[in-house]
C-alpha cells in the first residue's frame, strides 16, 4: 500500500505528542514511587497536589483537540504499516475513553486517591478500617461515576475492569470462576485429608540484611538488569516502570517470616522482566506497553510459582540458601523445604497464600467489588462482609483489619477491577509455561543448573516483544495455539500437589 508523505509526517507528529504525554505520566509515576518508598510523612499533602497537577496536564493533552485531530486523520486514512496503524488505533480507543472524563473529574479523582492512600497507610498503622472508611467511600462514589461516564453494556464493573483487562466481562469471569471452584475445592479436600506439611522453620529469625542480599542474588539469577532498574522497601510490594531502562521493584521484609521477602522478590521480578523486555523503540506508544494486567500477572505468577516454587529451581539454589542461613536450615532437607514452600493451608493474607487457596482470596475481592459498584454494599459494610466470606470459603477467622480488609493497597489507588487479573494471570502462566516446556523439553534440566535464560528468551520472543499489539486472548493463542484454557492450570496443580501430598 502506498504511504503518502503527509501520513508519514503526521505519524511523526502523533509520535511526538504521545511521547510528551508519556513523559508527563512517567514524571508523575516517579513521584508516586517516591510517595510509597521515601516520602517524608509531612510531604503527603503537597505530593498529592503535585501528582494531581501532572495527572490533569496529561489528561488535558490526551483529550486535546490537536491530538484528537491527528489521531482521527490517521485512523481515517488507514494507509500506515501494521504496527504504526495499531499504535494509532489503540491511541484512538484510549482517547475516546479518556475524553469521556472531564479535567475537573480527573483532578478530583487524583486528589481523592492521594488522600485515600495516606488514610490507608494510617489505618494500617492503627489497625482500624474506620480510619480509611470515609476516604474509601468517597473513592467508590468516584468510581461509580467513572463507570457511568465511560459507559458499559452489561455491568458497571466492566467499565472499570476494561482499564486493566480490555474486553473482559462479568459473564466471562463468573463462568471461569464457576468452572474453577468444584475441581479446585476437590483438590483442596484431598490435600486437607493428608498430614499437614511442616513449615515452622520458615518462621524462625532470618536477619534482614541476609534476606535482602539473598533476594538480590535470586533477582539477578532470574535475569533482572540492575543497570536498568533497582529494588527498594515498601509497605506493599509493587513494580513500576518509567521506561524499559528504568524499572523499579519493591519488597518487604519480615525477620520472622522468610517467605514474605522471597516470594515478593520473585513475583515482582516477573513483572519487571516483562517491563524490561518491552520494545524500547516504542517508548510512550501502545506497542511499548504491556498487553493487559492479566498477561502482566501471568509473568509474575509464572516466575513465582512455575519456577520459584519448583523442585528443579531449588535443586540448584537450596545448598547456597543453607549456607546463608545455617542455623535455621542446617537440619532441613531439600524435600522438606520444597514441601514447606508449597504448603497448602487457608490463610489470611492474599500475597502470602499458597497458589491454590489464593484464588479464593481473589474471588472474595471480585464479588465484593461488584457489590460495591452495583451499590449493594457500602464501604462501612466491608469488614463484616469480608470476615463472613473468609469464614465461608476458607473456614478461617479474620483476626483484625490489618490482616483482613486493609491488607491490599489497590482500593487506596482507586484500582477497582484489578483483582480478577491475578487469577487470570495464574491461568495464563500455566498455559504459557506448558507451551514453553513443550518446545523446550529440557527446561527443568536447565533450571537444575541455575539457568533460566531459555525461559526468559522464550517469553521475550512470544510475549514481551509484542507490547500491546495483540489483546490477551490473541496473544495467548499466538504463543500457545489456543485461547485461555484453565485446564492447564488444573492439570499443573493436580500433578504438582499429588506428588507433594502423595495421593
The residues annotated as belonging to the active site are 268
Q: Which residues contact 429 (CB under 8 A, 6 or more apart)?
A: 297, 298, 299, 301, 302, 305, 306, 489
Q: What would you measure as the largest C-alpha separation in the chain, in angstroms?
A: 72
Walk across the sheet containing 246-251 and list its strands. 229-233, 246-251, 239-243
Please state the length of the chain.
Answer: 503
Return contacts of 372-381, CB within 8 angstroms, 24+ apart: 372/140, 372/416, 373/140, 373/143, 373/144, 373/147, 373/156, 373/157, 373/160, 373/416, 374/155, 374/156, 374/157, 375/144, 378/137, 378/140, 379/133, 379/134, 379/136, 379/137, 379/140, 380/133, 380/137
Give the Cα separation of 316 and 306 in Å (integer).
Answer: 15
Distance from C-alpha of 426 to C-alpha of 410, rounded to nearest angstrom: 19
Query: Distances from the Cα of 321 to the Cαs of 221, 265, 445, in angstroms?
Result: 14, 15, 20
> Which residue shows C-alpha cell 493436580?
494
Indicate the DSSP class of residue 232.
Answer: E
Amino acid at each position: 500500500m502506498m504511504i503518502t508523505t503527509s501520513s508519514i509526517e503526521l505519524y511523526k507528529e502523533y509520535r511526538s505528542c504521545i511521547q510528551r504525554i508519556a513523559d508527563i505520566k512517567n514524571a508523575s509515576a516517579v513521584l508516586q514511587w517516591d510517595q510509597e518508598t521515601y516520602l517524608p510523612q509531612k510531604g503527603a499533602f503537597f505530593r498529592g497536589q503535585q501528582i494531581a497537577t501532572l495527572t490533569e496536564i496529561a489528561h488535558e493533552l490526551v483529550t486535546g483537540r490537536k491530538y484528537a485531530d491527528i489521531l482521527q486523520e490517521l485512523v481515517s486514512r488507514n494507509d500506515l504499516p501494521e504496527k504504526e496503524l495499531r499504535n494509532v488505533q489503540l491511541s484512538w480507543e484510549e482517547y475516546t475513553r479518556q475524553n469521556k472524563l472531564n479535567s475537573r473529574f480527573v483532578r478530583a479523582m487524583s486528589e481523592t486517591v492521594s488522600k485515600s492512600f495516606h488514610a490507608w497507610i494510617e489505618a494500617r498503622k492503627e489497625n482500624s478500617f474506620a480510619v480509611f472508611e470515609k476516604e474509601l467511600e468517597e473513592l467508590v462514589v468516584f468510581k461509580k461515576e467513572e463507570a457511568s461516564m465511560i459507559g458499559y453494556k452489561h455491568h458497571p464493573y466492566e467499565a472499570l475492569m476494561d482499564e486493566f483487562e480490555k474486553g473482559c466481562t462479568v459473564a466471562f469471569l463468573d463462568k471461569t470462576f464457576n468452572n474453577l471452584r468444584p475441581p479446585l475445592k476437590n483438590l483442596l479436600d484431598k490435600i486437607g485429608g493428608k498430614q499437614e506439611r511442616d513449615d515452622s522453620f520458615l518462621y524462625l529469625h532470618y536477619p534482614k540484611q541476609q534476606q535482602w542480599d539473598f533476594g538480590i542474588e535470586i533477582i539477578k539469577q532470574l535475569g533482572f538488569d540492575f543497570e536498568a532498574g533497582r529494588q527498594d522497601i515498601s509497605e506493599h510490594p509493587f513494580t513500576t516502570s518509567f521506561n524499559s531502562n528504568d524499572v523499579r521493584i519493591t519488597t518487604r521484609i519480615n525477620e520472622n517470616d522468610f517467605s514474605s521477602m522471597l516470594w515478593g522478590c520473585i513475583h515482582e521480578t516477573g513483572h519487571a522482566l516483562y517491563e524490561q523486555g518491552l520494545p524500547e523503540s516504542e517508548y510512550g506508544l501502545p506497542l511499548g506497553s504491556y498487553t493487559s494486567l492479566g498477561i502482566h500477572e501471568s509473568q509474575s505468577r509464572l516466575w513465582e510459582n512455575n519456577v520459584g516454587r519448583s523442585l528443579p529451581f531449588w535443586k540448584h539454589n537450596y545448598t547456597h540458601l543453607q549456607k546463608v542461613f545455617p542455623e535455621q536450615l542446617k537440619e532441613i532437607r531439600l524435600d522438606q523445604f520444597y514441601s514447606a514452600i508449597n504448603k497448602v493451608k487457608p490463610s489470611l493474607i492474599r500475597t502470602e497464600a499458597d497458589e491454590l487457596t489464593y484464588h479464593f482470596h481473589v474471588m472474595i475481592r471480585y464479588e465484593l467489588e461488584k457489590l460495591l459498584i452495583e451499590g449493594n454494599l457500602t464501604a462501612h459494610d466491608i469488614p463484616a462482609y469480608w470476615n463472613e466470606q473468609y469464614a465461608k470459603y476458607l473456614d478461617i477467622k479474620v483476626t483484625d483489619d490489618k490482616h483482613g480488609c486493609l491488607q491490599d493497597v489497590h482500593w487506596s489507588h482507586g484500582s477497582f477491577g484489578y483483582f480478577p487479573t491475578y487469577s487470570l494471570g495464574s491461568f495464563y502462566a500455566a498455559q504459557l509455561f506448558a507451551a514453553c516446556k513443550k518446545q523446550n523439553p529440557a527446561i527443568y534440566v536447565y533450571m537444575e543448573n541455575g539457568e533460566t535464560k531459555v525461559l526468559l528468551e522464550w517469553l521475550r520472543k512470544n510475549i514481551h516483544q509484542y507490547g500491546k499489539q495483540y489483546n490477551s486472548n490473541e496473544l495467548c493463542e499466538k504463543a500457545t495455539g489456543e485461547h485461555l484454557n484453565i485446564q492447564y492450570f488444573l492439570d499443573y496443580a493436580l500433578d504438582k500437589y499429588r506428588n507433594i501430598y502423595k495421593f
